[in-house]
Structure 1
Amino acid sequence: MTLVQGSVERGFEAVRDAFAHAHDGDAGAAQLCVYREGHAVVDLWTGEDPISGKTWDADSMTVLMSVSKGVTATCVHMLAERGQLDLDAPVADYWPDFAVNGKAGITVTDVLSHRAGLSSFDPESGIGAAELSDWSACIAALETMAPLWQPGTAMYYHSLTQGYLAGELVRRVTGKTIGEFVATEIAGPLGLALWIGLPESEEYRVIPQFTRHKWPGPVEVAAVLANMGIDVGARLVRATLASLATRESGIAMLNTREGHAAEVPSGNAIGNARSLARMYAATIGEVDGIRLLAPATVERARQPQTDGLKAPSPLEILPVTHSFGYGYGLARPATPMLGPGSLGNTGTGGRIAYAHPESATAVAYTCTNMTADDPTKPDPRWLPWTAALHDALA
């Protein structure tokens, strides 16, 4: 069985065994941390890094991919709780230049719940993988862009763009970049190893991510869509395929110092499971006297905002693979959280972090081996320890 290091409290030994079993034969490294009622009850790590040769331990960090969206959402809800942002207000109330080309009615909630109609950059915008580290270029492209569908009427995952939209709202309201806000308002007070925009002094702790899986590219995806009768020349489809075309080079960029230093709030937060679990624990309760969000804020944040919505035309025949509240993903069959009421986010390649208020539990799992993503199924590495955690909490 895989060698696991770390500790568990009495009653959680089966979680450690299941975590070890989940990583039998896995080529990478992983961390699992669980907080219960404000303190860590599971703190585990396993594996070694075959790419860099660096030692992997509980303090090691890796890129968190779309788990980053939960960090960004927490920033937005902190501002809403302070009265600095109204989730029902138009984005243009805080960002006046955004109100062009049919975007005047897009609300903060539309941005958080992937309903804004800006799911990908237009191919003509010139935003590729290299430009993702250029905040001004990305913001300018979104500022002038017309929505890809009528905002609010459909939901389609804003895999890259949501972070820029939400991050610019944070900057407009506070004068701080999203990375600065995370550092001063979340990571600093809680003592977290968590950044959006990594300082060079912390670079030595980062373990690169890797994959031995080849994801389908835009040509393969376009062929599948065409066989389904979908017009691949439609603007939404062209934009989506252009995003797919940046995936491999984008992931490669996120393994560079430039990619670590940039602020890409949808996908390049860097941290470890300890810090993510601690952050989520502080969203639903006190951790060493610190609480990030009030109970009423959490309750609102997890209210479904996409139930009943389909993908926009001409992709409406595709299955709905996500369910969102206000910026956080919600429990669904492909995301085996601790049950209804859980709120958090998954990340490409197998990361997951979330909170379950009913059990006062926060969970975070990070990994370096990016396995194949199937949005209709959970990562098989989650299943053993998730089942054991259910049993331990029961």
Structure 2
Amino acid sequence: MENLSKETKAGTLHGTYDPKFRPVVDAFVENFEKHDEVGANVAITLEGRTVVDLWGGRKERGGAPWEKDTVSIVFSCTKGATSLCAHMLADRGKLDLDAKVADYWPEYAKNGKEETLVSMMLDHSAGQPHLRTRLKDGAYYDYDYMVKLIEEEEPFWKPGTRNGYHGVTLAWTVGELVHRASGRRMGRFFAEEVAKPLGIDFWIGTPEEIEPRIAPMIFAEPDPAAANSKFTQALLTDPSSPAHLFLLNNGNANFNSRECHAAEIGSGNGISNGRGLAGMYAPLANGGGNLVGPDTLARMGRVAMATHEDATLLIPSRFALGFMKSMDNRALKNEPNSSCIMSEAAFGHVGMGGSIGFADPEARMSFGYNMNRMGAGILLNNRGQALVDAAYRSLGYRSNASGVWVA
């Protein structure tokens, strides 16, 4: 292993890396020198061994240094953690993914949702991409309030007939299934069954003593190149659309607040770093470890839902059960930063602004990246994708022209 220590305009970069992964180091440094990275951590494991762990910059522009133990909100990367919990329960025979939701959660089975299957909650086809009810202030911090609203909501479409990204509601659809099947709320289940055994810094409902380590998010500036995207147009012109409701009917949630960090929002408020994300996915890149068996692992990585137009994101999307698969939308007009290109075997999840964590069982690699300056767009921006690309090039993969990285 070699050491990194480099001064940049954003601050000092530190870390260790296997020389084979020097392209990742170069991409990480370039993000700070050319792409306005402020603070970040990228980590990679290969066959369960850490081969890259780089961090640095600042927790805020001109502020304190980004330390090795600095963490941040990783937004929808949290969905990977929540989905993992559901699959662990399925692996133990506690949750049947092919059963009706009503078998575990009878109160949900009303107003057109009676035939919803557990798997539909995971593949974004349940028809609950958001809520039409105007949310009260602080709604996302009130777990029971959100569960009750979801129980009463009519689906946006007949469950199972199409998919649309459940950008926030997955916290209470899948989250409540984990609660019902395990007897523990999802945040506690994840802490006790995943984060603690793996020894990773990752919380869904973060203790107050961690707060000083959290780098606040620097929110993205609007991207003029995306002004004519279908998502932006729906957001601005159709108040009844999932796109509009997903981003604007949020109960004035402040994701930089202590109140939000302490809440249990299993779709979007996980606190971790690249090291924690890579650490969570490492067992899944190497046969499942003590988390899941081989049959469950195979199901986790298989495409379960793909569409030419996601009802929420309004771009083509590909999902496994609770995880994103490689999505290549580079050829679309007016849709910048709407791709996430991995190998066909890989599965994981991006977070709003550009964070990502995933497992690649074929390469036996896990990957995690978090940062505090969010990029615009729906999926990865050039900073995160450059790191992913460098990781695959380091392993000898030759091209992603097909929409997935191939050797």
Question: TM-score with structure 2 length normalisation?
Answer: 0.85
Secondary structure, aligned partner of 2:304:
coil
- Specify which of 124, 130, 137 is matched with residue 138 of structure 2: 130
How has the CA–CA distance of structure 1 residues 82 and 102 changed in structure 2, closer, same or farther, with 3 Å as cutoff?
Answer: same
Q: Deviation of residue 322 (structure 1)? A: 2.2
Q: Which amino acid aligns with 1:19?
A: F
- What whole-Å deviation, never above 9, does each CA across 1:236-273 have from its counterpart, x for those lacking one? x2x542332246943xx111110110000000010111
2:164 maps to 156
Matches within 5 A, 1:310-349: 310-312=309-311, 319-333=314-328, 334-349=338-353
- What whole-Å deviation, never above 9, does each CA across 1:113-155 have from its counterpart, x for those lacking one? 0000010111xx2325621100011000000111111111111
- What whole-Å deviation, never above 9, does each CA across 1:315-363 have from its counterpart, x for those lacking one? 8xx8434210100000122544441111000011010110110000000
Matches within 5 A, 1:126-275: 126-128=134-136, 130-214=138-222, 224-225=233-234, 232=238, 235=240, 237=241, 240-246=243-249, 249-250=252-253, 253-275=254-276
Structure number with greater CO (CA < 8 Å, separation at least 6) is: 1
**Is 1:351 paired with 2:346?**
no
* CA root-mean-square deviation: 2.7
Q: Which amino acid aligns with 1:294?
A: G
Give the conservation status (yes or no) of the 8 Å contact 2:354–2:381. yes
Give the conservation status (yes or no) of the 8 Å contact 2:307–2:318. no
- What whole-Å deviation, never above 9, does each CA across 1:134-184 have from its counterpart, x for those lacking one? 001100000011111111111111100012111101111111111101110
- Specify which of 16, 23, 31 is matched with residue 32 of structure 2: 23
2:285 maps to 284
2:92 maps to 82
- Specify which of 365, 384, 387 is matched with residue 385 of structure 1: 387
Q: Deviation of residue 392 (structure 1)? A: 1.5
1:59 maps to 69
Give the conservation status (yes or no) of the 8 Å contact 1:52–1:208. no
Q: Which amino acid aligns with 1:8?
A: Y
How has the CA–CA distance of structure 1 residues 332 and 20 changed in structure 2, closer, same or farther, with 3 Å as cutoff?
Answer: same
Q: Deviation of residue 286 (structure 1)? A: 6.8
2:16 maps to 7
Q: Which amino acid aligns with 2:17?
A: V
Give the conservation status (yes or no) of the 8 Å contact 1:209–1:368. yes
Give the conservation status (yes or no) of the 8 Å contact 1:62–1:209. yes
2:335 maps to none
How has the CA–CA distance of structure 1 residues 215 and 247 changed in structure 2, closer, same or farther, with 3 Å as cutoff?
Answer: farther
Q: Deviation of residue 294 (structure 1)? A: 1.9
How far apart are the structure 1 equivalents of 2:249 and 2:63? 27
Give the conservation status (yes or no) of the 8 Å contact 1:34–1:364. yes
1:369 maps to 373
Q: Deviation of residue 215 (structure 1)? A: 7.2
How far apart are the structure 2 equivalents of 1:139 and 1:215? 34
How far apart are the structure 1 equivalents of 2:258 and 2:45? 31
How has the CA–CA distance of structure 1 residues 54 and 177 changed in structure 2, closer, same or farther, with 3 Å as cutoff?
Answer: farther
Listed as ranges, the gaps of 5+ residues in structure 1 are none
Percent identity of paired positions between Structure 1 and Structure 2: 33
The more displaced of 44-53 and 141-150 is 44-53
Q: Which amino acid aligns with 2:147?
A: I
Listed as ranges, the gaps of 5+ residues in structure 2 are 1-6, 329-337, 397-407
- What whole-Å deviation, never above 9, does each CA across 1:275-309 have from its counterpart, x for those lacking one? 1101100123279xx53122221211122122246
Q: Deviation of residue 4 (structure 1)? A: 2.5
How has the CA–CA distance of structure 1 residues 120 and 389 changed in structure 2, closer, same or farther, with 3 Å as cutoff?
Answer: same
How has the CA–CA distance of structure 1 residues 297 and 127 changed in structure 2, closer, same or farther, with 3 Å as cutoff?
Answer: same
How far apart are the structure 1 equivalents of 2:56 and 2:161? 44
How far apart are the structure 1 equivalents of 2:234 and 2:264? 32
Aligned residues: 375
How far apart are the structure 2 equivalents of 1:372 and 1:285? 33
The more displaced of 148-157 and 9-18 is 9-18
How has the CA–CA distance of structure 1 residues 89 and 30 changed in structure 2, closer, same or farther, with 3 Å as cutoff?
Answer: same
Q: Which amino acid aligns with 2:54?
A: L
Matches within 5 A, 1:36-47: 36-47=46-57
How far apart are the structure 2 equivalents of 1:223 and 1:198? 32
Give the conservation status (yes or no) of the 8 Å contact 1:45–1:57. yes
- What whole-Å deviation, never above 9, does each CA across 1:370-391 have from its counterpart, x for those lacking one? 111145xx41112433332222
The more displaced of 262-271 and 290-299 is 290-299
How far apart are the structure 2 equivalents of 1:107 and 1:320? 24
Q: Which amino acid aligns with 2:22?
A: E
